Amino acid sequence: MKADFVLTGAGRLVTCEPGLGEGPLGVIERGALAAWRGEVVWVGREADLAGEVEVAPDAVEVDARGSAVLPGLVDCHTHLVFAGDRAPEFAARLRGEPRATGGVRETVRATRATGDEDLAALALERLDRFLSWGVTTVEAKSGYGLTLEQERRLLSVAAGLRHPVDVVRTFLGAHVVPPEYDDDPEGYVTLVSEGMIPSIGQLAEFCDVWCDEGAFSVDQARRILRAARAEGLGIKVHAEQTARTGAAALAASFGAVSVDHLEHATEEDAEALGISRTVAVLLPGASLGGPYAPARTLIGRGVRVALSTDLNPGTSYSENLPLSAALGCALLRLTAEEAILGITRHAAAAIARERAIGRLARGAACDLVVLGAASEVDLVYHYGANLAAIVVKGGRVVGGAGP
Ligand code: NIG
Ligand code: FE
For the chain, the structural domain boundaries read 2-71+359-399, 73-349
From the CA of 53, how far away is ligand 2's center (Å)?
43
From the CA of 10, how far away is ligand 2's center (Å)?
35
What per-residue confidence (pLDDT) applies to 222?
Answer: 98
Query: What are the Cα distances from residue 386, in Å, to 29, 75, 103?
Result: 23, 16, 31
Residue spans of alpha helices (H) in 242-377: 247-253, 267-274, 295-300, 321-332, 336-342, 345-349
In single-letter form, the type of residue at position 305 comes to V
Question: Probe ligand 1: pick from 89, 216, 312, 324, max atoms within 8 Å of CB?
Answer: 312
Domains 2-71+359-399 and 73-349 share a fold: no
Which of 216, 263, 219, 221 is closest to 242 using CA atoms?
263
Nearest-ligand number for the alpha carbon of 286: 1
Residue spans of alpha helices (H) in 113-179: 116-132, 148-159
Is the Cβ atom of 238 under 6 angstroms away from ligand 1?
A: yes
**Residues 6 or more apart whose Cβ sits within 8 Å of residue 91:** none
Ligand 1, atom 11: closest residue by C-alpha: 315
Query: What are the Cα distances from residue 345, in Å, to 192, 242, 285, 342, 378?
Result: 32, 28, 20, 7, 18
Is the Cβ atom of 4 under 6 angstroms away from ligand 1?
A: no
What per-residue confidence (pLDDT) applies to 403?
Answer: 73
From the CA of 77, how far away is ligand 2's center (Å)?
6
What per-residue confidence (pLDDT) applies to 401?
Answer: 87
**What whole-number distance in Å separates Cα of residue 257 and Cα of residue 368?**
24
The atom number, within ligand 1, closest to the CA of 144 reads 10
CATH number for domain 2-71+359-399, candidates 1.25.40.10, 2.30.40.10, 3.40.50.300, 3.40.800.10: 2.30.40.10
What per-residue confidence (pLDDT) applies to 100?
Answer: 65
Nearest-ligand number for the alpha carbon of 216: 1
- Give every residue of the chain whose pLDDT is below 50, as ranges: none
From the CA of 310, how far away is ligand 2's center (Å)?
5
**What whole-number distance in Å separates Cα of residue 61 and Cα of residue 9?**
11
In three-state secondary structure terms, 121 is helix
Is the Cβ atom of 170 under 6 angstroms away from ligand 1?
A: no
**Residues 6 or more apart whose Cβ sits within 8 Å of residue 251:** 211, 235, 236, 237, 239, 258, 259, 273, 278
Is the Cβ atom of 312 under 6 angstroms away from ligand 1?
A: yes
From the CA of 352, how far away is ligand 1's center (Å)?
22
Please provide residue 138's backbone torsions phi and psi, each rounded to the nearest 5 degrees.
-130, 150
Nearest-ligand number for the alpha carbon of 316: 1
Reported CATH class of domain 73-349: alpha beta
Spell out a b/e string for 56-83, using b for 16 or more CB atoms within 10 Å of the CB, else e: eeebbebebeebbbbbbbbbbbbbbbbb
Is the Cβ atom of 111 under 6 angstroms away from ligand 1?
A: no
What per-residue confidence (pLDDT) applies to 395?
Answer: 98
Is the Cβ atom of 260 under 6 angstroms away from ligand 1?
A: no
Give this prediction's pTM: 0.98
What per-residue confidence (pLDDT) applies to 101?
Answer: 60
Is the Cβ atom of 104 under 6 angstroms away from ligand 1?
A: yes
What per-residue confidence (pLDDT) applies to 206?
Answer: 99
- Contact call for residues 334 and 6 (beta carbons, < 8 A): no
Is the Cβ atom of 216 under 6 angstroms away from ligand 1?
A: no
The atom number, within ligand 1, closest to the CA of 260 reads 1
- Ion ligand 2: residue ranges with CB closer than 5 A: 310
From the CA of 164, how far away is ligand 1's center (Å)?
26
